[in-house]
Amino acid sequence: MSILVTGAAGFIGARVCQVLLEQGAHVIGVDNLNNYYNTDLKKERISTLSSSRYFDLKEVDIESVDLSDLFKLEEQREITGILHFAAQAGVRHSLDAPIDFINTNVKGHIAILEFARKLANLKHLVYASSSSVYGRNAALPFRESDRVDRPGSVYAASKRAAELMSDCYQHLYGLPQTGLRFFTVYGPWGRPDMAYFKFARAIMRGETLTLYEGRELARDFTYIDDVADAVLKVLAAPPSSDQQRLLNVGNNSPESVSYLVTLLEKHLGRNASVSVMPRPVADVETTWASIDAIENLAGWRPRITLDEGIGRFSEWFSRSKYV
């Protein structure tokens, strides 16, 4: 039996692949290794995974190929689970390149749905959504039952569109699916476009980092190992064929961005130079995940505090070539 993981060179995808391989699973990774951020980081993640004989990589754009053509029929019969993480990320980047988000996050998602519905032995499709779908909602914490029809960016709209397409495919074909709304995932081997990574680099280089205005500027930071644990617990608990699930994956404990900077200073052993600027219109002030649903379903709760997680990240970052 095989697990297909799209976005295998990405931050979440690579960590989930690594855990699956440690558990003895056969993993088929799919990734186009695009250059949205440093491809060296993606190649290093893949190099680590490729040391296992149970890992195979197919380097393709999911939105531009017929995925059925990539696999022989016997290979398709072996696929029992799909973890779909391939996406164009970056809320602010979606202001500059909105078409990229439609191509990957909408066209790419429906390509996965089309492939998945034809697999004879597929038990569960788990896909990455985002806390960004909560958009301009003001009520906290964010709950899966909240209305999500006021996106604050093209990125958020593309992720909500993917959720709606999945709901349609569940209705039409009984495709068992769960969408995971991730909240600010961080940790070693993370994405260089994320705030904590950019802050760490600025601190280490003696450069000024930018904080945005807002007394309530906070994020529900969620450590990568906790996220991987959540993904695999959910994968092992598919819904009935008449149900599409949406679940928050967050820390259920928003922390101020200024506290994040304090922790980076502590663990990197250097002081930050800070400039305060107006908050971009695409950025929400606070994110906060209600995690009652995933805890009730899979018994999952995050374990790593922000202090511990930033300590682990800082140790990795200080030794990396990405300083």
Give pLDDT, residue 91: 83
> For residue 220, what are its two tokens?
């529900």
Helix 39-50 and helix 11-22: axis angle, to 10°?
Answer: 10
Does the pLDDT of residue 242 top 80, yes or no?
no
Whether the CB-CB separation of 204 and 270 falls below 8 Å is answered with yes
Q: How far is residue 15's CA from residue 11's CA, in Å, rounded to a whole number? A: 7
Helix 306-319 and helix 195-205: axis angle, to 10°?
Answer: 50
317's CB contacts (< 8 A; 6+ apart) are 188, 197, 200, 204, 268, 323
Domains, the chain, ordered by start? 2-184+223-250+288-302 (3.40.50.720)
Q: What is the pLDDT of residues 182-220, one digit of tens each?
A: 999 999 999 999 999 999 999 999 999 999 877 678 999
Residue 155 annotated in active site: yes
Q: What is the pLDDT of residues 10-63, one digit of tens each?
A: 999 999 999 999 999 999 999 999 999 999 999 999 999 999 999 999 999 998
* Active-site residue, selected from the candidate residues 127, 134, 155, 322: 155
Neighbours of 194 (CB within 10 A): 17
Does the pLDDT of residue 292 top 90, yes or no?
yes
Q: What is the pLDDT of residues 248-262, one digit of tens each?
A: 999 999 999 999 999
Average pLDDT, the chain: 95
Strand partners, 316: none
Give pLDDT, residue 164: 97
Whether the CB-CB separation of 133 and 156 falls below 8 Å is answered with yes
